[in-house]
Structure 1
Amino acid sequence: MTLRGSVLAGSLALLASTALSPAAFAKDISFIYCGDAINPVHKKAFDAWNSANADAKVAPELVGWEQCQDKATTLAAAGNPVALAYVGSRTLKQFARDELIVPIPMTDAEKASYQPHIIDTITFDGKQWGVPIAFSTKALFWNKDLFKQAGLDPEKPPTTWAEEIADAKAIKEKTGIAGYGLPAKTFDNTMHQFLHYVFTNNGQIEDASGKVVLDSPQNLAALTTIKDLVPYAEEGPTAYEQNEVRAIFLDGKLGMIENSTGAIKRLEGTKLHWGVANLPLGPDAKGPGTLLITDSLAVFKGSGVEPKAIEFAKFLTAPARQEEYELEGDDGLVPLRPSPTVDKFVADHPAWKPFLDGIKFGGPEPLFTDYKGFQNAMIDMVQAVVTVKATPADALKKTAADVEQYK
Structure 2
Amino acid sequence: MRTKVLFAMAASAAAMIAASSAQAVEVNYIRCGSDGLDADRALIKKFETANPGATVNMESLPWGTCQDKSLKLAAAGDPASVAYMGSRTLKQLAENDLIVPVEIAEDQQKSYQPGVLNTVSYRDKFWGFPHAFSTKAMFMNCGLFEEAGIACEAPKTWDDMYAAAKTIKEKTGKAGVGLTGKDFDNTMHQFLNYLYSNGGQVIDPSTNEITLNSKNTLETLKFYGKLVEVSQDGPTAFERTQVRDLYNDGKVAMYIDGPWGRAQHKDEINEKTVPMPAGPSGVSGTLLITDSIVVFKGSGHEDVAMKFARMLTSGESQYAVDGNPGSELAPILKYEELGIEKPYYMDDPYWKVFVDPIQTGGPEPLFVDFKAMQTVMNSMIQGILLKDDTAENLVAIAAEELEEFK
- TM-score under structure 1 normalisation? 0.90
2:260 corresponds to which residue? 262
Does residue 1:279 correspond to 2:250, yes or no? no
8 Å Cα contact 1:265/1:331 also seen in 2: no
1:161 corresponds to which residue? 158
Matches within 5 A, 1:354-393: 354-393=353-392
8 Å Cα contact 2:88/2:366 also seen in 1: yes
1:143, 1:196 → 2: CA distance? 20
* Uncovered stretches (5+) of structure 1, i.e. residues with no partner: 1-24
Identity %: 40
2:341, 2:330 → 1: CA distance? 10
Task: Look up the equivalent residue of 2:376 and give its one-letter code.
Answer: A
Higher mean displacement: 326-335 or 179-188? 326-335
8 Å Cα contact 1:37/1:62 also seen in 2: no
1:344, 1:374 → 2: CA distance? 37
1:290 corresponds to which residue? 286
Equivalent position SS for 2:345:
helix
1:16 corresponds to which residue? none
Does residue 1:236 correspond to 2:234, yes or no? yes
Please tell me whether Structure 1 or Structure 2 has the larger radius of gyration of its CA atoms. Answer: 2
1:42, 1:26 → 2: CA distance? 22
Change (3 A) 1:195 1:343: farther
Matches within 5 A, 1:93-172: 93-154=91-152, 156-172=153-169
- TM-score under structure 2 normalisation? 0.91
* Uncovered stretches (5+) of structure 2, i.e. residues with no partner: 1-22
2:41, 2:344 → 1: CA distance? 23
Per-residue CA deviation, residues 154-209 of structure 1 (Å, 9 max, x unaligned), is 2x121111111111111111001111111111000111111111110111212342
Give 1:328 shift.
Answer: 1.5
Equivalent position SS for 2:306:
helix
Equivalent position SS for 2:43:
helix
Equivalent position SS for 1:85:
strand
Matches within 5 A, 1:202-217: 202-207=199-204, 208-217=206-215
Does residue 1:326 correspond to 2:327, yes or no? no
1:182, 1:289 → 2: CA distance? 18
8 Å Cα contact 1:144/1:273 also seen in 2: yes
Change (3 A) 1:402 1:343: farther
Give 1:385 shift.
Answer: 0.7
Equivalent position SS for 2:58:
strand
Change (3 A) 1:405 1:342: farther
Give 1:391 shift.
Answer: 1.7
Per-residue CA deviation, residues 291-337 of structure 1 (Å, 9 max, x unaligned), is 11110011111001111111111101112221221121414100001
Equivalent position SS for 2:133:
strand
1:15 corresponds to which residue? none
8 Å Cα contact 1:140/1:257 also seen in 2: yes
2:157, 2:24 → 1: CA distance? 57
Higher mean displacement: 316-325 or 239-248? 316-325
> After the TM superposition, which parts of structure 1 deviate over 4 Å for at least 4 consecutive aligned residues?
341-344
1:36, 1:333 → 2: CA distance? 15
Give 1:151 shift.
Answer: 1.7
Task: Look up the equivalent residue of 2:322 and give its one-letter code.
Answer: E
Give 1:44 shift.
Answer: 1.5
User: What is the RMSD of the two structures over their aligned residues, measured on CA atoms?
Assistant: 1.5
The aligned length equals 380
2:35, 2:141 → 1: CA distance? 33
8 Å Cα contact 1:264/1:351 also seen in 2: no
Give 1:38 shift.
Answer: 4.8
8 Å Cα contact 2:36/2:321 also seen in 1: no
1:246 corresponds to which residue? 244
1:82, 1:298 → 2: CA distance? 10
1:305, 1:276 → 2: CA distance? 46
1:22 corresponds to which residue? none
> Which of these residues, 193, 197, 204, is aligned with residue 196 of structure 1?
193
1:302 corresponds to which residue? 298
Equivalent position SS for 2:210:
coil
Task: Look up the equivalent residue of 1:177 and give its one-letter code.
Answer: K
Matches within 5 A, 1:36-47: 36=34, 38-47=36-45
